[in-house]
Amino acid sequence: MKVLIVGGGFAGLKLARKLNNKPGFEVTLLDKVNYHQFQPLFYQVATAGLDASNISFPLRKVFHKSKNVRFRLGVLHEIVADQNKVTTSIGDIEYDILVLATGADTNFFGNEELAKNAQPMKSTAEALQLRHRLIENFEHAVIAKDENLKKQLLTIVVVGGGPTGVELGGALAEMKRYTLPKDYPEIDFHDMNIYLIEGSPRTLAAMSEKSSADSRQYLERLGVNVITNTVVKNYDGNTVTLMNGETIDTAMVIWAAGIKGNLPKGVDPELIVRGNRLKVDRQSKVIGMNNIYALGDIASMSTELYPNGHPQVASAAIQQADLLADNLQRIESRSSPNNLVNFEYNDKGSMATVGRNLAVVDIPKPKIHFKGFFAWLIWMGLHLMLILGVKNRLFVFLNWFYNYFTYDQSLRLLFKNTYKEINNRELKLESGELNLRS
């Protein structure tokens, strides 16, 4: 059975590892990058808490001892379902079983100006770009003579109050409190403002009300300005405009407000639902297809408990891949092809961290909520377990241990020559000419 897996994220990698060295399978794993990215810690790369290599792991190294799994670096262009093949940047690839695990990208909801000017964070590369932008803004603020310009450079707006936005807002607030005043003694960081904007009434809306309330309290304790029941209407590179008419002058907007599935050409538009997700049955098979499956963020599986699809989190993707691997082995062996198992999501809980010793955890069965230092330890332990590679786990742990006692990391590095002498340029706030991203 030739199995083509597109995407080396949590779902695609789990499926490939589950089929590794299983007789009867020839597996090809296709991805546009040659490493697995641990998305839950992107925000720590962006805020110079971890090095990018600590949360990335070469996909080829995962399968050093594999006899049947091969990796190919390329981009999926189109599915040709009637010919059982896909067209990619490296040529056509035929399959018996196609598994789409392409994940999700940033959703700007059709606003081109936001997409042009706001900073996304859905990949390791984007997290590094965000880090560079942050450092550049601080370097420009040191020499800025105009106070309004300096204030704009020191204002950061995070859009989206989910786990990514909350964790990023807390990390930025801790940088402001512990690290940046030592890096830039010329700047009064009392003038630095961090905003977290959320369209719903509360942060961490997918978690319990207690977790939402605790997370907001933690953020406000750290100095983050939390604005709820408000959405961002536009950002032109200089000014954020909210739906209620209010404006915020800022040189950086970080977009963590929504995601959409990465779907290739060749997919029936009638199968695409909200969030650019594909309709699948209880065995993760795309509706109307005989040999095409979808896992993780791009799959919309309607069940009694989750009529609008499962949450787009790593645990759901991993469980779907685990079950699909078992079902494919049943199909390949022909011993029980008609006894395939339906998927049922086992929600083991959710968690988020806001900062040092500040985290929230919800466990559904039994229904338990706890917060603070103990929740923070559990958050760290779980993330360490999920990171690929013993070396990566060790480095992440050492980084966290060192940072806990020193309140600092030596990772605020610029690896590109993008610095410009800001005072020699005509930067007029009122004319909208400030565009440091360029």
What's the pLDDT tens digit per position in 134-184?
Answer: 999 999 999 999 999 999 999 999 999 999 999 999 999 999 999 999 999
| Beta strand ranges found along 7-153 (DSSP E) | 26-31, 35-37, 56-58, 69-73, 76-80, 85-88, 91-94, 97-100, 104-106
All CATH 3.50.50.60 domain ranges in the chain, comma separated: 2-32+74-106+259-333
What CATH class does 112-257+350-414 carry? alpha beta
Do the beta carbons of residue 59 and residue 50 sit within 8 Å?
Answer: no
pLDDT of residue 431: 37
One DSSP character per residue, 113-167 reads: HHHHHSB--SSHHHHHHHHHHHHHHHHHHHH---HHHHHHHTEEEEE--SHHHHH
Number of helices followed by number of strands (H, E) in the chain: 12, 25
**Which of 358, 357, 139, 156 is closest to 254 using CA atoms?**
156
What is the rounded CA–CA span in Å between residue 42 and residue 49? 10
Q: Does an H or E element contain 170, and which?
A: helix 163-174
Query: pLDDT: is 147 or 426 the higher one?
Result: 147
How far from chain centre, in Å, is Cα 53?
16
| Beta strand ranges found along 274-318 (DSSP E) | 277-280, 292-294, 299-301
- 365-420 per-position pLDDT tens digit: 889 999 999 999 999 999 999 898 898 999 999 999 998 988 887 788 887 654 44
- 262-293 per-position pLDDT tens digit: 999 999 999 999 999 999 999 999 999 999 99
pLDDT of residue 301: 95
User: Bridge partners of 353?
Assistant: 359
Is 233's pLDDT higher than 70? yes
Strands 299-301 and 277-280: parallel
pLDDT of residue 182: 94
What's the Cα-to-Cα distance from 105 to each of 258, 259, 276, rounded to whole Å?
A: 9, 5, 10
All CATH 3.50.50.100 domain ranges in the chain, comma separated: 112-257+350-414
Peptide bond into 366 cis (omega under 30): yes
What's the Cα-to-Cα distance from 69 to each of 10, 323, 406, rounded to whole Å?
A: 16, 19, 43
Question: In the structure, what pLDDT confidence band is assigned to residue 333 with cuts at 50, 70 and 90?
Answer: confident
What is the rounded CA–CA span in Å between residue 196 and residue 203? 9
Backbone angles phi, psi at 93, to 5 degrees: -130, 125
> Could you tell me which CATH number the domain at 2-32+74-106+259-333 has?
3.50.50.60
What is the rounded CA–CA span in Å between residue 328 and residue 308? 25
Q: How much is the mean pLDDT over the chain?
A: 91
pLDDT of residue 279: 96
- 212-222 per-position pLDDT tens digit: 999 999 999 99
Question: In the structure, what pLDDT confidence band is assigned to residue 337 with cuts at 50, 70 and 90?
Answer: low
What is the rounded CA–CA span in Å between residue 154 and residue 149? 9
pLDDT of residue 336: 64
Strands 91-94 and 259-261: unpaired
Token pair in block for residue 235: 């950002």
Is 322's pLDDT higher than 50? yes
Average pLDDT in the 313-335 region?
92
- 12-56 per-position pLDDT tens digit: 999 999 999 999 999 999 999 999 999 999 999 999 999 999 999
Do the beta carbons of residue 37 and residue 13 sit within 8 Å?
Answer: no
How far from chain centre, in Å, is Cα 385?
18
Q: Is the dihedral of CA 233, 256, 203, 167 positive or negative?
A: negative
